[in-house]
Structure 1
Amino acid sequence: MDEPDRWRHMASAPKDGSRILITIRPSEQGPAEVDLAYWSNGDQAGPEGWRSSDSSPGRIIEYAEPELKCWMPMPSANLDRTSLPSAWEGDDARELDGSGI
């Protein structure tokens, strides 16, 4: 993670339970947005998958893989930054992590 402030493909997101930032794809419910999430291996609250980190027991927010566009590691403490980074708004996922050329 040599460049922590860079959006990456969801396929490379850690599934170890650590908290990450995710871009939720735009939909008929609204524009793309950023959320704090983690991978859950499943428990009494639901099956394995991506969950919102601020969910409380009994009110778990789960994301389906197609809803998520990309991820970014949690930024380090930065007194100059007072908000989350903007959601990824690129036209094509090929732009994430470079063009692959």
Structure 2
Amino acid sequence: MEALDRWRHMRSAPRDGSRILVTIRATEQGPGAVDLAYWSKGDQYGGEAWRSSDSAPGRIIEYAEPELKCWMPLPSAELDSLAFPAPWKGKDDEELDGSGI
């Protein structure tokens, strides 16, 4: 069975509107962070993009593909693990999903 609590490449993230955790890359505005996001197919408020779950009509928080490093499914609702995991701190060229062989 696949471990659900590990970071994965964004290319494998679901684009069906389900909520996932994402690592946002560090920038000059601040360090990397974790956010709850979903893929939006686009609507009257914006085009296809990753959106923060904090978004609301007229106040859309969108992420461009390069802003997001990796993703993880939402953890189960166990009372002992209700905190976000730490953001991915590895180098960009490190493997997240294994060697792919």
Please tell me the TM-score bracket, short chain as reference: over 0.9
Provide the rounded CA distance (Å) in 2 between the counterparts of 1:86 and 1:43: 32
3-state SS of 2:11 partner: helix
Question: Which sections of structure 2, spanning at least 5 residues, go unmatched?
Answer: none
Which region of structure 1 is more displaced relative to structure 2, 40-49 or 84-93?
84-93
| TM-score normalised over the length of structure 2 | 0.93
User: Structure 1: which 4+ aligned runs deviate by more than 4 Å?
Assistant: none
Alignment match, 1:77: 77
User: Is the 8 Å Cα contact of residues 9 and 93 (structure 1) preserved in structure 2?
Assistant: no
Separation in 1, partners of 2:63, 2:92: 20
In structure 1, the gaps of 5 or more residues are none
- Report how many aligned residue pairs link the two structures: 101
Specify the code of the residue in structure 1 equivalent to 2:16: D
Write the mapping of 1:18-97 to structure 2, written as runs, cut at 5 A: 18-97=18-97
- TM-score where L is the length of structure 1: 0.93
* SS of corresponding position for 2:94: helix
Question: What code does the residue aligned with 1:7 have?
Answer: W
